[in-house]
Amino acid sequence: QPGSTVSPDTIILELSNPELEMQALDAESQLRAAEAQYAELKVRLESQHLDQEAAAASVQADYAQARMRADTDQQLADQGLVADLNRKLSRVSADQLENRNRIEQRRLAIAGDSIKAQLAGQQAQVEQKRVLARLRRNQVKAQAVRAGIGGMLQQVPVEVGQRVAPGTILAKVAEQNRLKAVIKVAETQAKDIQIGQPATIDTRNGMVDGRVSRVDPAAQNGTVTVDVALTSELPKGARPDLSVDGTVELERLENILYVGRPAQGGQGPGPVGLFKLEEGGSTATRVTVRLGRASVSTVEVVAGLKEGDQVILSDTSAYDAVDRIRLN
């Protein structure tokens, strides 16, 4: 259930795909058939090889006998005890069997290479079937959806019996100690944001320090998405999808005069007319104030005001035609 603590091997849900399971069974069957064919081929080739070895041994024995007979007849012919024709016939028979023996030995060697090649081809088919069967088994096992990481289960947006298409989000798991902040910055204020700038995130339960880790290159609906990597300890109650406020520190200015951003003309450097309260606070006089760099809520005062002056920051466009107003 959402909110449960899970480990990487925790099974969140199990899928069922009869077609995939049938493919796995078919792959297993093809593997067993290929292994049986390999075993049958190996036995048959070994039997044939034994027959060839027997034939070669028989020819070799006949050749040995013929050579001994030819040698004997040669000795008898030299002594005049046997006709020269018999000697020649014995020699021809020995030479013929010598050729047959040489041919049988070559055939036996070639047969050994042929056996290795045929077995290697059949073994390659077995390995191919084994890889396919392993793939199908892993696909069946993958129907058990595991968390993959340790953390908290956030969401399971599917129901029992629901059909899902490839790419459907089945569950969301978040690591509680590896959260990031995603803030939306107005595109007019995002131009100066750079990766690595310090930021402060307000979680409503405490403040967290961080640094800008990513700035979306495109604006959407007038805002730019900025990711902030959190660098300090999270306060209690921090969790994924929590609404937060963030402030990115573009630059820190020391020992400057500043005021809150006025409703009119407080977007950046330049002169602006503001009503400054006079002594007593019952009246205000328009003065020209030159503003400098601005933040989200404050703006630098370059000239026109001094420390302790009070000005009206609300919209005073209704009094653009006058230079002095009375306050109630």
The domain spans of the chain are 1-16+144-177, 18-142, 179-248, 258-326
For domain 18-142, the question of CATH label 3.40.50.800 is answered with no
Instruction: Give residue 43's pLDDT.
Output: 92
Q: What is the mean pLDDT of the chain?
A: 86
Confidence bin at 74 (pLDDT 50/70/90): confident
pLDDT(147) > 90? no
Contact 156, 182 (CB under 8 A): no
Judge whether residue 295 has pLDDT over 80.
Answer: no
CB 179 within 8 A of CB 29: no
Of 184 and 74, more confident: 184
- Asked if residue 212 has pLDDT above 90, the reply is yes
The whole-number pLDDT of residue 1 equals 74
| pLDDT (0 to 100) of residue 195 | 92
Span 184-211, mean pLDDT? 88
Query: What is the spatial distance between Cα 318 and Cα 328, in angstroms, rounded to a whole number?
Result: 16
For the segment 62-85, the average pLDDT, to the nearest whole number, is 81
| pLDDT (average), residues 25-34 | 93
How high is the pLDDT of residue 179? 83
Q: What is the pLDDT of residue 177?
A: 73
pLDDT at residue 8, as a whole number: 86
**In the prediction, which pLDDT does 69 show?**
83
Tell me: the pLDDT tens digits for 102-142? 888 888 888 888 888 889 999 999 999 999 999 999 888 88
Domains 18-142 and 179-248 share a fold: no
pLDDT greater at residue 215 or residue 153? 215
Query: What pLDDT, on the 0 to 100 scale, is given for residue 32?
Result: 94
For domain 179-248, say whether CATH 2.40.30.170 is its number: yes
Calpha distance 310→281 (Å, rounded): 9
Is it the case that residue 78 has pLDDT exceeding 80? no
Q: How far apart are CA 328 and CA 323, in angstroms?
A: 17
Return the pLDDT at 184: 92
For 238-287, what is each residue's pLDDT tens digit?
777 788 999 888 888 888 899 988 887 766 688 888 999 988 888 999 99
